[in-house]
Structure 1
């Protein structure tokens, strides 16, 4: 019973006490987050690839 009461109170609070952003702002911020996610993913991939190549060269140099 406590769980049901908790869930109903949570929904009631979401309806009455939470200030929701306008839909246009949500869309704009979602696009910004998506763009930054792609940019940071590509940056991480680039650094990872560079270090991988650098370590491959280093290990080949140490092996020989």
Structure 2
């Protein structure tokens, strides 16, 4: 077993990985909304508000008889 990472990997110079810095929420950031019936929606925080409102209205709509 090699003593260092560079010995193990066979690299003598550091490697660089491209990084993107953004002010957007992390992809693992989520919101949870509890509906009237007790169901819980867990969605990314980046979910557009208009789409979310339509979804909640559709899920909460009572079928007409």
Q: Please state which band the TM-score falls in when normalised by the shorter chain.
A: 0.3 to 0.5
TM-score, normalised by the number of residues in structure 2: 0.33
Higher strand share: 2
Higher helix share: 1
